[in-house]
Amino acid sequence: MRYSGLRIIKEALTGHKGWTPAWRDVAPQNQYDFIIVGGGGHGLATAHYLAKVYGKARIAVLEKGWIGGGNVGRNTTIIRSNYLLPGNEPFYEFSMKLWEGLEQDLNYNAMVSQRGIMNLFHTDGQRDAYRRRGNAMILHGSDAELLDQEQLRKEAPFLNFDNARFPIKGALVHRRGGTVRHDAVAWGYARSADRHGVDIIQNCEVTGFKIENGKILGVETSRGFIGAGKVGVAVAGSSSKVMSYADMRLPIESHVLQAFVSEGLKPVLPGVITFGAGHFYVSQSDKGGLVFGGDIDGYNTYAQRGNLPVVEDVCEGGMALMPMIGRARLLRMWGGLMDMSMDGSPFIDKTHIDGLYFNGGWCYGGFKATPASGYAFAHLLATDTPHDTATAYRLDRFISGHMIDEKGVGAQPNLH
């Protein structure tokens, strides 16, 4: 069913009896050409582009629980194309362009809202680093502005300019950055994939791969064996576990990132703001909650929950930056599992198994990448060649020394 203005009016006047499920709830068939493991944002997007752009059929998405229950539904909803390194920025700029056309592509309103993102800087050194980054963004076709303190004060007068331990000197502003209604991304891709014939199979956990003579034949699941020509894995957070079924060790650790939302407040924040002298970033949702986060807890974990030190650290950053939020209350905190990679950048690559492909290592930045990740993974699955914007995301980049380390902290995942 296509959503349209006419349809909305008709349903409103007839008691909403005509709406049909956003996607079919189907049982697995015996054999598919393509199986995508993981019904999160990336997996669903992969299926959508594989079917719609690359014209493939006989595609299934297997999800161990309910689609969209992982990181696509547990993040702070930020999208941005503000990377420094040549291995990254073309990919994220591609992703931004896909976000900009997403509603029309999916016929689903995911509320892409480009209200801008401000990265604050507090020292001359940070300013210089942001100048380098801002220039890189522009050279890659993205947008960037460098605001000095006076200009920033006009745009965000509520920031703590006058009483701060680390005075705010200015900001790198990326106007096209913003937020998206995260759950709607999963549902929108699912609905569109479904309309293009993709089978979305929920409550179907992959428990192993069937591999013979170095070639994949299918997957073992909690609902039995399903044959496949090609299998793409997009299960960030559980990548190590799933890929261990193919005897692979990955340059990835699993960590938890907490996120927070306040009670609903009348709108005060223009866009996304990130603190340059502490771990804190914040935006305000269309419902009015301040949505914020900070650093990962910093130890390997598969428990989707964090501990108090990070909660306090994040709120300290918030109060340092905008002490007007002291009386606003934190309503809910939750945690999502991150694939923290060894250089802070992701992987979209073939594996040593013929027909087995891997997408993961998104660290805390997978949400913004969803469209491009799906597109590039679909491209790889369909053509066996990497998408132009994702050529750097290889699993073997560490052996050749071509790390994509935006932060420059090396093989220490909890510092990325």
- Closer Cβ to another protein, 337 or 378, answer by number: 337
Which amino acid makes up residue 140? H
302 neighbors 290 (Cβ within 8 angstroms): no
Provide the minimum distance between the beta carbon of 412 and another protein in the complex, in angstroms, as a whole number: 7
Provide the minimum distance between the beta carbon of 229 and another protein in the complex, in angstroms, as a whole number: 28
Instruction: Please state, in angstroms and rounded to a whole number, the distance separating the CA atoms of residues 288 and 205.
Output: 36
- Closer Cβ to another protein, 246 or 265, answer by number: 265
Per-residue CA distances from 410 to 113, 243, 296, 393 (Å): 33, 23, 16, 16
- Closer Cβ to another protein, 201 or 378, answer by number: 201
Provide the minimum distance between the beta carbon of 377 and another protein in the complex, in angstroms, as a whole number: 21
- Closer Cβ to another protein, 228 or 345, answer by number: 345
Instruction: Please state, in angstroms and rounded to a whole number, the distance separating the CA atoms of residues 369 and 157.
Output: 31
Angle at CA of residue 391, ends 251 and 38, nearest 5°: 55
Instruction: Please state, in angstroms and rounded to a whole number, the distance separating the CA atoms of residues 407 and 330.
Output: 29
Instruction: Please state, in angstroms and rounded to a whole number, the distance separating the CA atoms of residues 170 and 126.
Output: 10
Provide the minimum distance between the beta carbon of 252 and another protein in the complex, in angstroms, as a whole number: 6
Provide the minimum distance between the beta carbon of 214 and another protein in the complex, in angstroms, as a whole number: 20
211 three-class SS: strand
Provide the minimum distance between the beta carbon of 367 and another protein in the complex, in angstroms, as a whole number: 15
- Closer Cβ to another protein, 142 or 373, answer by number: 142
- Closer Cβ to another protein, 184 or 273, answer by number: 184
- State the CB neighbour count (10 A cutoff) for residue 328: 16
Provide the minimum distance between the beta carbon of 382 and another protein in the complex, in angstroms, as a whole number: 26
Instruction: Please state, in angstroms and rounded to a whole number, the distance separating the CA atoms of residues 117 and 283.
Output: 9
Instruction: Please state, in angstroms and rounded to a whole number, the distance separating the CA atoms of residues 247 and 8.
Output: 50
- Closer Cβ to another protein, 229 or 323, answer by number: 323
Two structure tokens written together for 47:
């299926």
Two structure tokens written together for 151:
């200009």
